Amino acid sequence: MNWEKLLNSRRLGDERDNYDVFAHRSAFQRDYDRIIFSSAFRRMQDKTQVFPVPENDFVHNRLTHSIEVSSVGRTLGNLVGQYVLELEPQLKDLGNSMHMFGDIVAAASLAHDVGNPPFGHSGETAIGNYFLNNKELKERYKLNDQEWNDLTKYEGNAHGFRLLTNHHPDEIKGGLRLTYATLGCFSKYPRASIVDDKYLIESSIKRTSSKKFSYFQSENDLFKQVAETLELRKLTKEHPEQRAWARHPLVFMVEAADNICYRIIDLEDGYKLGYLKFNEMEELLIPLLKRSFDAKEALKKYQHIKDLGEKIGYLRAKSINVLIYESMEIFKDNYTAIMSGDFDQEITDIIHSADILEGPIKKANIYLYNRKPVIEIELAGYQVISGLLERFMDAQLNPENGMNKKMLQLLPQQFHVNDQDSAYKKIMKAVDFVARMTDSYALNLYRRLSGHSLPVIG
């Protein structure tokens, strides 16, 4: 893979060469702006990150988490850009700068959770399990294996790509019309939902990017267009559906930024909610502070801070800084393998401080992710998503039955289908509607449709 292709600033849906490389905003800064002003991004303010937001307005939701990941991602991207331009100075002659790398990673990081359904991963599970529990739908509506896998293994990352590329409310070609570079950087799992081993050029078992998938069959051709434009390394033999590619090199920085933020900041949320004690936070984070390049001075400054909240904030900031620079060292050490598509691990799993990070991960699993409010949200979300999906699926597929005509009146125009549309398209539209909801909207709509509450008229 080469950077001249990987930094492609043309836009999906608008194939004109980008003429504004030297303008006051780069094409990639425009990507960032388009994402931040999108309704899909705005909806993340009412999507739970870990803890229920009403419990404490300090804790993170999907939107604040994404902004922080984007900030860390920009720094990582700038560091990559600085390194790459030192290795390949001819890229500067083409108008590329260190900050363009940072802008791409920042934009992709900003959007990394945009496809998450209500109630996070329990929402994903609810959608997948709905279809697993209704296996007769596959035969009844003649869905092929690839389409069925899209549904039973429902993936927020693939929904995110769908949102960004072709489901603008006005059906504008290319959706938000982001650059190919940003779309490639956004796609952490560049493969279809099912790829049989016989179509693989080489085994993908050890590839981190084979754990999930980045696009549904409905976006099969769109994703192929993105991957081929960027000239991502192809990992499969020729097949119309079962396709896989190596990651865009900057994906590793998006993933690292996400891992760094949630592993450190989830702890801070847990402390603010009283789930972790101050001394526990010190035990977890001071070892990271000690690996800072200015450890002696940092410890001295830390000891002079009196306010406990400020101490935690300082530990968080220094910890993130350490993890950023250690992640960059791994990128440098594996640069050749990353550019060839051979490297495919989570960078934060092999950084110098990976052993120290095990502490926060274990602590979070024991004391944070299994707290009663978190479990209650997951269980409630599962019921809400399942219930809504059942109602709107039936309405889309059987519009003449019973109250389904009225149910369809609740669907915004962009989710309407035609009689001649395939069953797969009708199903995906119903799933789209549910998956785009915020936590509050999904819960309130479910209550109203279940008769547990009534809307206020007037």
φ/ψ of 115, rounded to 5, equals -90, 0
Residue 245 forms beta bridges with which residues?
234
Predicted pLDDT of residue 166: 82
| pLDDT bracket for residue 52 (50, 70, 90) | low
Q: Answer for the pair 246, 232: CB distance below 8 angstroms, yes or no.
A: yes
Predicted pLDDT of residue 276: 87
Q: What is the pTM of this model?
A: 0.94
| pLDDT bracket for residue 286 (50, 70, 90) | very high
Q: Answer for the pair 185, 105: CB distance below 8 angstroms, yes or no.
A: yes
The mean-pLDDT minimum among 18-32, 45-59, 113-127 falls in 45-59
Closest by CA position to 312, among listed 359, 265, 375 = 265
Per-residue pLDDT tens over the stretch 88-118:
999 999 999 999 999 999 999 999 999 999 9
User: Is a pLDDT exceeding 60 seen at residue 2?
Assistant: yes
Predicted pLDDT of residue 169: 52
Cα 351 to Cα 347: distance, rounded to the nearest angstrom? 6
Residue 179 forms beta bridges with which residues?
11
Closest by CA position to 351, among listed 327, 320, 325 = 327
Per-residue pLDDT tens over the stretch 21-35:
556 888 999 999 999
| pLDDT bracket for residue 58 (50, 70, 90) | low
| pLDDT bracket for residue 59 (50, 70, 90) | confident
φ/ψ of 417, rounded to 5, equals -130, 165
Q: Which domains, and CATH codes, for the chain?
A: 252-368 (1.10.3410.10), 372-449 (no CATH)
Q: What is the mean pLDDT of the chain?
A: 90
Tell me what percent of the residues of the chain surpass a pLDDT of 70: 93
Closest by CA position to 368, among listed 261, 259, 270, 281 = 270
Predicted pLDDT of residue 173: 74
Predicted pLDDT of residue 443: 92
